[in-house]
Amino acid sequence: MYQTTINKKIVCSGIGLHSGKLVELKLLPGDEDSGIVFQVHGKDGVKRLSPKPCSVVATGLATTLGVDGASVATVEHLLAALRGMEIDNILIEIKGGEVPIMDGSAASFVLLIKSAGIRRQRAPRKVAKIIRPLSIEHEGKWIKASPYNGFRVNYTIDFPHPAIGVQNMDIEITPQSFMDIIAKARTFGFLKEVEYLNKHGLALGGSLDNAVVLDDYKVLNEGGLRFPDEFVRHKILDFIGDMAMLGLPLHGSFEVHCSGHGLNNAFLRRLEENSELYLDIVTSRTPELANNSSALEIEPEMIGQAV
């Protein structure tokens, strides 16, 4: 298993969820061992920042990364697409302070990665493996992690809403399952909250074009849902993006109950603070990882088209 990056630069623009303005996103191939790096054009010039659990400065409306006065918002769906597609190294240039919300899912980012193509690099992939059970619980929400060869999520949501209710999905995340089952699931919000946010100058880019919006009884989007369980699928998408904040692919099995960005980040901080107890950093040369079933096992020349 080797590290990967994208084949060529790719540019797109879209509406920012926070600002409601057009923002630009550029994805560029990254060097081996460089990881995922954001390059932000701010008032103080250009700054680079990498996902780290302690760099998450806000989890309210969406996940915001911030370091030394530079910040980039709404990073979680792009990060989910990168992890879901097993991209190790990439440079992400942002103009406008946030990643465009696109259609509220990770589908557009998957499409961008596919059209750029995926290139295998020479360095072996590094993975952070959970080696001991760890759980976190807060007000009836929890995450329980245990060792596993791959990334598996068993996620349950329970919203007291007639259109949502209890939904559960147990899934092994591989590039294929991510593309087929998770990537297209959109973010969701409640009309009351959207109205409140707009009144306070927040979520100015939020609309029925980039979120599933519900009133007290039903889904308001004209086309309805993309999947009957789109809500739990999107929560898994968010979970994948939030776990990407560790900075390395994470291997483990996760039982998640009603979590959100805040608890996901608290879990990751605990994991990192006690990394010597719970994590082992292994490279693909380590025999243990050779049996990994989630690997993108395709020939180098196939990589660009196989996804």
Q: Catalytic positions, please?
A: 261
264 lies in the binding site for Zn ion (CB under 5 A): no
Site for Zn ion in 234-253 (CB under 5 A): 238
Looking at the Cβ atoms of 49 and 182, the one nearer to Zn ion is 182
Burial of 68 (0-12, 13-18, 19+ CB in 10 A): exposed
Identify which range of 24-32, 119-127, 181-189, 207-215 contacts Zn ion by CB under 5 A. 181-189
CB of 266 to Zn ion, least distance (A): 17
The DSSP 8-state label assigned to residue 159 in this structure reads E
Burial call 270-305: b when 16+ CB within 10 Å, e when fewer: bbbeeeeebbbebebeeeebeebebbbeeeeeebbe
Q: How far is CA 112 from CA 14, 90, 178, 289, 304, in A?
A: 13, 13, 15, 29, 12
187 lies in the binding site for Zn ion (CB under 5 A): yes
Identify which range of 67-75, 169-177, 180-188, 192-200 contacts Zn ion by CB under 5 A. 180-188
Site for Zn ion in 94-123 (CB under 5 A): none
Q: With contacts defined by CB under 5 A, how many residues of the chain interact with Zn ion?
A: 2
**CA–CA separation, 283 vs 113, rounded Å?**
24
Residue pair 156/274 in contact (Cβ under 8 Å)? The answer is: no
CB of 145 to Zn ion, least distance (A): 20
Burial of 104 (0-12, 13-18, 19+ CB in 10 A): buried
Identify which range of 120-128, 135-143, 231-239, 289-297 contacts Zn ion by CB under 5 A. 231-239
CB of 244 to Zn ion, least distance (A): 13
230 lies in the binding site for Zn ion (CB under 5 A): no
Give, for 203, the enclosing helix (H) or strand (E): none
CB of 122 to Zn ion, least distance (A): 34
Summarize as ranges the residues that interact with Zn ion (CB under 5 A).
Answer: 187, 238
